[in-house]
Structure 1
Amino acid sequence: MKNFSDDDFELREIQKLEGHTGKVLGIAWREDTGVWGSQAIFASWSDDKTIRIWEENFSGFFVLKTVLEASCIVRSCSWSREFNLLAAAYSDATTAIWKKVGVHTYEHVYTLKGHENEVRSVSWNRDGQFLATCGGDKSVWIWEVLPGNEFDCTKVLEGHTEDVKIVQWDEKILFSGSSDNTIKVWEETRFVNGDWRCIQTLDKSDREHTSAVLCLSLSKERRRMVSCCDDLTIKIWKNCDEDHSIELWSHACTLSGYHDTTIFTVDWLRDKLRHIDYDHPDPEIFASAGADDAIRVFIEDKDNEAGGLSFKQLLKKEKAHEANINSIKWYSGDKRRMASASDDGTVKIWEFVCPWPAGPRDPS
């Protein structure tokens, strides 16, 4: 790395949000907010059976705007980039679809049913036409948005041998991580609309995780992916398909020895540190957190003498919360911020301080 040192970086707490009466299990930023001068919005959810919608005010602090009541524990939420929809995965095997119908008003417009066990994760594709859900029944469901707030299940993906913990879209590719220690890559077949196939399983041949895959995140250019696991390791995967015709992934490196307890969450910073220099690109950054109450930030090691892709710990925020950290999510926007959710019932907003300010981000 040139022109800066590790001492130039800091993770600074700027706000602690209280209100949930149980463990806060996750947060999700609404991606079409917080750009070009608009106020950022995010959702937090909890085992207190509520979803809380927070909105940034003109002073840069977040205030509670809406509380959505659920009938059971909320496991995951995902914002659609279109249609003003929020999907919420419930522990009773259903997924609720909430629609924004007013300035701070949301209406429960549909319930997706079909899973035989609790829904663990939900994820919209980029254009908001499809929603993926997964759960304890070892399956992944693909739902299509229809006119009139209707939904149709177009495919049930089966292949995992244990419960599926996480689903994540990348354009038209879908990733799923499971308690069977694998990550599967799914693609809609080009010649049969609505049919899907597993094009790759990241397992033994790719230096697999040895326990449940709990979280994964893609880099901005979608050429790298980070995953974390109950085996106390973080793995970096790289897309090895140069012509972009087929999404194939291979293991790049494994980080171990940093966490001595379960790693629940990882997230890639989808923002450049400064303007892109194609001859000397800036290193990439991601963060991790888990049961040790600390947030770690890792940076690509450009000075790695061994060659190949590698990362090193850039900073560690000790005692970031008073209990397990269940979720961390970067949000670039016009500022570099991170939100974290914890068993201590709070959400914290962090500012990532680095040598160069973040510029306005194109919401597309």
Structure 2
Amino acid sequence: MTSIEEEGLQLKELQTLTGHTDRVWGLAWNPVTGTAGHPSMLASCGGDKTVRIWQQQQQTPNSTSFHSLEVLEEIHTRTVRSCVWSPSGEKLATASFDATTAILEQNGNGFECVSTLEGHENEVKSVSWNASGSLLATCSRDKCVWIWEVLPGNEFDCVSVLQGHTQDVKMVQWHPTVDVLFSCSYDNTIKVWAEDGDSDDWRCVQTLNESNCGHSSTVWAISFNATGEKMVTCSDDLTIKVWGVDIARLQSGDTNASWEGIIATGAADDAICLFIESEDHSVDGPKYKLLLKKEKAHDMDINAVRWSPTENRLLASASDDGTIKIWKLDSIA
């Protein structure tokens, strides 16, 4: 069997999506589209205060052409920094610099805001659903992480305010199989939060920092592989770190990247880099190497890269240049 690094691969641009009038900050693929005759759906958000929904054209079964399905212009009053679909694909959560998080729901052919979450003192930077869709996490420039319980009737109840970071919290990310939350911050740390089974309170059970092989500068993003056994983090220290995650330990409560088998990263050098696990391992564990680098993938900083969860080797990227690009990792002809 030919290994992926022997295939002779290229990152081929399929389409440039335009419409945002300011930088594009966030991207999210709807996890239940792209299969069984349902066209893929992609959400984007940005500095123009809008949330945009893009849908794959349906003319041909294998079409990779996307069109604008809807533009949501009055959900937030400031930059929309993050967007993420619920596991069921029925709701979209958006986090904004206006200090609110909005919950959007599809209603017929359109989307409507069904709930607005308030409480953070200032900019909300990131939002994340847990695997079951029963909990939502948000984080902010106010250094806090909030955990919300999802109730019937589109109601949300804040069940915990987590204080432990000393500077802006850049991203929150739930583990894909267990209810353990990870957060990363301008304070150079990654914190792991778990619920105390005795008191139902949430607490920090581990802090990853420079002293335990962590980052030496701002940690921008966190992503997991599908099983949750590995985590990748990227930082302002210009490094990407891959962590082994002990799921059994997480279950006992002790402990701008995207990853779908190949780690994709985007940065201020306007390039997209793809990394894979090397066949050469050391005593410290697996090693990773650069598979390819797409120079000048965008005209300005790249803020997000996201692999499609359903379409083989399809990647979306978002940039300060106001565009979204759809890429295909394909063999060189």
For normalisation by structure 2, the TM-score amounts to 0.92
Aligned equivalent of 1:183: 190
* Secondary structure at 1:350 match in 2: strand
Aligned equivalent of 1:224: 230
Q: How far has the Cα of 1:191 moved from its partner?
A: 2.6
Q: How many residue pairs are counted as aligned between the two chains?
A: 324
Letter in 1 for 2:224: L
* Secondary structure at 2:285 match in 1: coil
- Partner Cα distance (1:296, 1:110) in 2: 37
CA separation of 1:302 and 1:82: change in aligned 2, threshold 3 A: same
Aligned equivalent of 1:345: 322
Alpha-carbon contact 1:36-1:334 (below 8 Å) kept:
no
Alpha-carbon contact 2:30-2:89 (below 8 Å) kept:
no
Alpha-carbon contact 2:83-2:94 (below 8 Å) kept:
yes
1:125-177 deviation digits (Å, cap 9, x = unpaired): 11111110000000000111112211110100111111100000113010000
Q: 1:107 aligns with which of 90, 107, 112?
A: 112
Q: 2:126 aligns with which of 91, 110, 121?
A: 121
Q: Which runs of 4+ in 1 moved over 6 A?
A: none
Letter in 1 for 2:20: H
Aligned equivalent of 1:64: 68
**Is residue 2:257 matched to residue 1:266?**
yes
Alpha-carbon contact 1:240-1:248 (below 8 Å) kept:
no
Alpha-carbon contact 2:280-2:287 (below 8 Å) kept:
no
- Partner Cα distance (1:248, 1:225) in 2: 17
Q: 1:27-176 maps to which residues of 2 (within 5 A)?
A: 27-58=27-58, 59-69=63-73, 70-82=76-88, 84-103=90-109, 105-170=110-175, 171-176=178-183
Q: How far has the Cα of 1:4 moved from its partner?
A: 5.3
**Is residue 2:189 matched to residue 1:198?**
no
Unmatched tracts of structure 1, length 5 or more? 250-264, 270-283, 356-364
* Secondary structure at 1:205 match in 2: helix
When structure 1 is superposed on structure 2, of 66-75 and 175-184 the one drifting more is 66-75
CA separation of 1:243 and 1:135: change in aligned 2, threshold 3 A: closer
Q: How far has the Cα of 1:80 moved from its partner?
A: 1.0
- Partner Cα distance (2:103, 2:283) in 1: 49
* Secondary structure at 1:211 match in 2: coil
Q: 1:312-327 maps to which residues of 2 (within 5 A)?
A: 312-327=289-304
Q: How far has the Cα of 1:304 moved from its partner?
A: 4.0
- Partner Cα distance (2:144, 2:295) in 1: 37
Unmatched tracts of structure 2, length 5 or more? none
Q: How far has the Cα of 1:23 moved from its partner?
A: 0.6
Letter in 2 for 1:329: R
* Secondary structure at 2:286 match in 1: coil
**Is residue 2:287 matched to residue 1:310?**
yes
Alpha-carbon contact 2:174-2:182 (below 8 Å) kept:
yes
1:69-111 deviation digits (Å, cap 9, x = unpaired): 13211011111123721111111111111111112x1111211
Aligned equivalent of 2:220: 214
Q: CA-atom RMSD, angstroms? A: 2.0
